[in-house]
Structure 1
Amino acid sequence: MASLTPEIELQRAQIRVRFIEAQIERLTSDFCDISIDAITGDASFRSYFRVQTKLSKYILMDVPPEKGSVEAFIKLNHVFAEGGLAVPEVFAFDVDNGFVLLEDLGSVHLADIVAQQGGDQHYQALLTWLPKIAMLRSSRWMNAYDAAFITQEMEIFKVWLLGQWLGYSSASDFESQWQKLTTSLTESMLAQPQVVMHRDFHSRNVMYCASAGRLIDYQDAVVGPVCYDAVSLLKDCYIKLPSAQFQRLRKESYRQLSDAGLLREMNYEQYIEYFNFTGMQRHLKAAGIFARLYLRDGKPGYLPNILPTLEYVIEAAQMYPQFQWLATWLHSEIIPMIEAKLAESL
């Protein structure tokens, strides 16, 4: 993604400062000595700034209108809060210029807690959020996670990771195998009860402020397969849970969704299959996105997550005869090519 010219960057900074000053003056009498510091962004076109005065602090989300809109974030913030989910408070926004002034939640994510403490009790608490998210009222700001959407996401892996990054030349039968894979995963995902899903419910999108978990990055919520958010959380691209903990938490995710009446008459064995098939689609898509972030957006920091993400795909594919080819192909052909590319890139 092309960088903004210095002139446009300066112009953007001036508009940003004017918005911040106007809102701080409106919100508080503590108007002196405003500091505005850029902080690490996420895997998107959004930028974030920590805004501080002597007595207060905020986070500014900055989305240049030519790159996207903040409107879905604002509308879905209300939907999630209305449904009992803990989300950051929105203090002010400017849709035309792409600014949102938010509550500052600090810098502690679930990922940080897991790294230090293991996080089991936090996972247990987060699993109770699954039915709350699923039962949110649908909104026109939520797309349907339909066959076209699922197929488009599968293509991200082919186009960006295989084609653009690896320069992979596929065998003659690859396209038919890939099409069968896409069809199988799509049918499995559409056969599940369709509910509201956060779509990126993982360790970097749950923050802890005053020991309470808060959900962020919900602007891409859609209506899709019921087990998708459980997959996102428990087969996290950034954290691999120990096997025993994963097995226990997956069963708890089933119980939470089942007790809420969201699984119809689905038994646990069927849930596991849906979980595995959904995970294969999600992780192929995610691996492709990590390559795209590097090639298109100049963000190499996600490249190390590609191999563990594809290991999830291999683990799941090995369980099903119809997907043995996928596990073998990834392990014998694609993983060695990725390892060579990583050695060059990192």
Structure 2
Amino acid sequence: MEFVQQLKPYVAKIAGRPDPVYEVVKLAGDASNRQYFRIRLTDGSAPPTLVAMVFNPADALRSEEAAGDSLPARLPFLDVGRYLQRGGVRVPDVYLEDVPKGFIFLEDVGDRQLFALVHEAGEEARRGWYRRAIDTLVGFQTLTRTRPEPACPAFTREFTHDLLMWEFDHYLEWGVEALYDRRIPEDDRTAFHSHFDRICRSLRKLPQVVVHRDYQSRNLMVHRDELVVIDFQDALWGPVPYDLVALLRDSYVALDEALVDDLVDYYIARAVPEKQGELTREGFRRGFLLQTVQRKLKDAGRFVFIDRVKKNPSFLPNIPTSLGYVRWALARLPEYGELGALLARYEERLAP
């Protein structure tokens, strides 16, 4: 009850009524440290519903993913969101904010994720929704390429070589050592690092764009037949295939391989000219495979971390899908056969 009363001055300001009548329901959480509550106004006020994001102000500037040592000067969620909205990317409206108190009040874009919709949809409808998601991604990338805003946190952070390597090490620490209670000997660790370093150098040579960092089916809401992008606060510079890998090699949705090939072609036709600097279309496809290895190993380790450290085991069932994508990519990268064999010694689910 005390928390509900805490919200009253904010709801009153948004509704334009001194004494609004409203109900508060906590929404299901994910792996983040933020909490979300739906506020339903029952007195005819507009908007009829809104969402309160509640967070610890002391943690507001820090990414929940590794992002280097420096912290942004301003709240990334608000700055990145405003930048995207000004550029025509559909994100939730912000009605009111009180960052020092740990409150942001947002447009309610409903509960329907692309995740749920594509599980229910037929093949052609699924293809159509993913093409729309790619169109939104291309718009996002075009905006950040043509209208950069240097002060926005998304432009002040990047996937450095060290950060990409840290994510590989995150997999070794949690996806191997913690999961199986097994130490990796130094000679094998050195071999892992040699292969990982090679992948990271290749990824860093690709064109770098601002990436959402988690552009997948649970971060795309379907609201009034629009795709609304959420969870964009960790955006940073990264390799051009990164977000497409997150979308099409999604740990929560396993797409048919023929559909994935079609959607990669669809993206390339819209986002990759015949030659983009030194990036050919075949070069993009190879980058897509390398990014799949890097991102999906990181995901597999992250899901164990979330279980062990955050006491949330709900992501563990998604590990086999993540590892399956790594196996799929390595099968198409024969020059990384030694890495595949080394990984399979520690994780049988990565065996060819």
Q: TM-score normalised to the size of structure 1?
A: 0.87
- Paired position in structure 1 for 2:87: 83
Letter in 2 for 1:194: Q
Would the alpha carbon gap of residues 270 and 310 (structure 1) be closer, same or farther in structure 2, given more than 3 Å must change? same
- Contact kept in structure 2, 1:49 and 1:59, CA below 8 Å: yes
- Listed one character per residue, the Cα deviations across residues 113-139 of structure 1 (whole Å, up to 9, x for unaligned) are 101004211111111122322232244
Distance in 1 of aligned mates of 2:165 and 2:54: 30
Deviations 1:10-46 (A, max 9, x none): xxx84x5455211211121454332111111122111
Given that 1:127 and 1:256 are in contact with CA atoms closer than 8 Å, whether structure 2 keeps it comes out as no
Question: For the structure 1 residues 75 and 65, does the alpha-carbon distance in structure 2 shift closer, same or farther, using more than 3 Å as the test?
Answer: same
2:106 aligned counterpart, secondary structure: strand
2:38 aligned to 44, 50, 59, which one? 50
**Do structure 1's residue 193 and structure 2's residue 207 form an aligned pair?**
yes
Q: For residue 206 of structure 1, what is the aligned residue in structure 2?
A: 220
Contact 1:87 1:215 (C-alpha < 8 Å) held by counterparts: yes
- Give the 3-state SS of the residue equivalent to 2:218 in structure 1: coil
Cα offset for 1:76? 0.7
Give the alignment partner of residue 38 of structure 1, picking from 7, 26, 34: 26
Q: 1:59 corresponds to which residue?
A: 51
Give the whole-Å Cα distance in 2 for the aligned partners of 1:293 and 1:335.
22
SS class of match (1:168): coil
AA matched with 2:326:
V
Q: Distance in 2 between matches of 1:250 and 1:41?
A: 31
RMSD: 2.1
Q: Does 1:123 align with 2:130?
A: yes
Question: Of residues 13, 19, 39 in structure 2, which corresponds to 1:26?
Answer: 13
Within 2, Cα distance between the matches of 1:104 and 1:82? 19
Q: Report which stretch shifted further, 158-167 or 292-301.
A: 158-167
Is residue 276 of structure 1 aligned with residue 268 of structure 2? no
Number of residue equivalences: 323
Q: Which runs of 5+ in 1 are unaligned?
A: 1-12, 338-346
User: How does 1:72-111 map onto structure 2 within 5 Å?
Assistant: 72-111=76-115
The one of 310, 318, 321 equivalent to 1:297 is 310
Identity %: 26
Which of 135, 139, 160 aligns to 1:132? It is: 139
Aligned residues of 1:276 and 1:316 also touching (Cα < 8 A): yes
How does 1:161-310 map onto structure 2 within 5 Å? 161-259=175-273, 263-310=276-323
Give the C-alpha shift of residue 84 in structure 1: 1.2
1:19–1:257 CA distance, 2 compared to 1 (3 A): farther
Whole-angstrom CA distance in 2 between matches of 1:171 and 1:323: 20
**TM-score for the superposition, normalised by structure 2:** 0.86
> 1:157 matched to which residue of 2?
171
> What does residue 311 of structure 1 align with?
324
Q: Output the CA distance in 1 between the equivalents of 2:317 and 2:59.
A: 26
Residue pair 1:203, 1:238 contacting (<8 A) in 2 also? yes
Q: Distance in 2 between matches of 1:219 and 1:19?
A: 25
The answer as to whether partners of 2:241 and 2:291 remain within 8 angstroms in 1 is: yes
